Amino acid sequence: MKKHILVISQYFYPEQFRINDICTEWVNRGYKVTVVTGIPNYPQGKFFEGYGLFKKRRESYNGMDIIRIPLIPRGKNSIMLALNYLSFVVSGYLWKLFTKIKADYVFIYEVSPMTQALPGVWYAKKKKIPCYLYVQDLWPENVEIITGIKNKYIIGSIGKMVDYIYSRCTKIFATSTSFVGAIQNRGIPSAKVEYWPQYAEDFYIPLEIRSHPKIANDGAFNIIVAGNIGHAQGLDVLPKVAVLLKEMNPSRRIRFNVVGDGRYKNELMEFVNSNHVSDMFNFIEKQPAVRIPEMMAVCDAAFLSLTDSPLFAMTIPAKLQSYMACGIPILVSANGETSRIIGESHAGFSSPAGDPSQLAYNIMDLIAKSPEELEQLGNNGRAYYDINFNKQELLNRMDAYFRHNTSSEVN
């Protein structure tokens, strides 16, 4: 009889998150998978076309069942975002009370908010089954950085919720070794926390494509910036570096191809215009993830940045694995884990978070390299990916936990 995995994730298909692929792989490996998620609205802040409180609340996708519980769309301001987080928890609690689903394991895919883990923890406790938590964002640290809230009572209350969730999970997986340490520092036993990095979907591979309709092939040095355009990404460094590059080498054409959407996109576009560097930017609407490798193939390098904060120094963003898997030279403006990986892999150049001067020099160094040298940087990244982020090996490790743990072993 197939083992049944109940996945709790506030975000799921058609929203573009790696949990979509993880669930598909579990179906392919013979598991029955049910996903409890919200109504898709990320990152635009409004329900996707065709979805709503009374539309497509049950769905099948790649052999799994999707249950969409009601929530308030995240909108464009902090009040709507808070209501979005809260509504998922309330709906999840009610779902837990009345559901007749019988699962063998719970797997919680935790990107912000951490509150989304609560329905999964409650269900696992009710059914006395193992509960696995995959931590992508650290709380309460993420709340402090993103919202600017410093009130010790608010942060303390969130911290108690986090400790409640951690203490009731059978195993906690984290996307970076720094995250592992931070979780253990909250009093969680070392044996309970494990580094389980993200991998890239199978379609992230090097492609032999010479042209793309959305990216001009006109001799410019093309740099791709793909993914969510939020405040956490620190993309305000790009207009600043563009100004410096014009001064340093006005004869060399450089173009930043920014692909995606997010809460900071309009502000970023205004910043580009106010710095008079719009000729160096090509803003492209959000694309299906499967289309991104085609765009990377016609670019000379890929760019990744994070804001300057202790939290993001501990973070390994998912796009790093995507870039490495595609074998493209990588420019990084970030501290900590991301910078370390670029150094270890020799896949490109890293500069401190928010430092436009060093980033400009790194871009100039990259431009000066021969095609063969650029290719070698990309190959280095792909080789590092194959060793450290191998998809099948990571999924095999998770299989071992599913086979080992039974309901009788749950605390």
Question: What pLDDT shows up at residue 116?
Answer: 97
Question: What pLDDT shows up at residue 406?
Answer: 55
Q: What does the alpha-carbon distance between residue 358 and residue 333 come to, in Å, rounded to a whole number? A: 9
Q: In what order do the strands lie in the sheet with 4-8?
A: 58-61, 64-68, 32-37, 4-8, 105-110, 131-135, 171-174, 193-195
CATH number for the segment(s) 4-199+390-409: 3.40.50.2000
Question: What pLDDT shows up at residue 143?
Answer: 83
Q: Concatenated DSSP letters for 111-135?
A: PSPGGGHHHHHHHHHHHT--EEEEE
CB distance 125 to 103 below 8 Å: no
Q: What does the alpha-carbon distance between residue 40 and residue 10 come to, in Å, rounded to a whole number? A: 9
Q: Which amino acid is at 389?
A: F
Query: Token pair 């669930």 is at which residue?
Result: 23
User: 215: Cβ–Cβ under 8 A, 6 or more apart, which residues?
Assistant: 222, 224, 255, 257, 282, 284, 295, 298, 299
Q: Which residues of the chain have pLDDT under 70?
A: 405-411
What three-state secondary structure class fits 72?
Answer: coil
Question: What pLDDT shows up at residue 411?
Answer: 47
CB atoms within 10 A of CB 362: 20
Cα dihedral across residues 25, 28, 32, 33: positive or negative: positive
Question: What pLDDT shows up at residue 405?
Answer: 66
Torsion angle of C-alpha atoms 208, 13, 139, 170, degrees rounded to 10: -100
Question: What pLDDT shows up at residue 409?
Answer: 47
Is 221-388 in the same CATH topology as 4-199+390-409?
A: yes
**Structure token pair of residue 133:** 């938590």
Question: What pLDDT shows up at residue 148?
Answer: 73
Q: What is the residue extent of each domain of the chain?
A: 4-199+390-409, 221-388
- 221-388 sits in which CATH class? alpha beta
The continuous run of DSSP H or E covering 303 comes out as: strand 301-305
Taking Cα atoms as reference points, which of 85, 145, 140 lies closest to residue 116?
85
What three-state secondary structure class fits 205?
Answer: coil
Question: What pLDDT shows up at residue 209?
Answer: 87
Share the mean pLDDT of the chain: 94
CB distance 264 to 232 below 8 Å: no
pLDDT tens for 28-85 read 999 999 999 999 999 889 999 999 999 999 999 999 999 999 999 999 888 999 999 9
Which of the 8 DSSP states describes residue 170?
S
pLDDT tens for 294-350 read 999 999 999 999 999 999 999 999 999 999 999 999 999 999 999 999 999 999 999
Q: CA–CA distance from 23 to each of 36, 119, 246, 320, 335 (Å)?
A: 12, 19, 46, 21, 31
Taking Cα atoms as reference points, which of 223, 281, 239, 230 lies closest to residue 260?
230
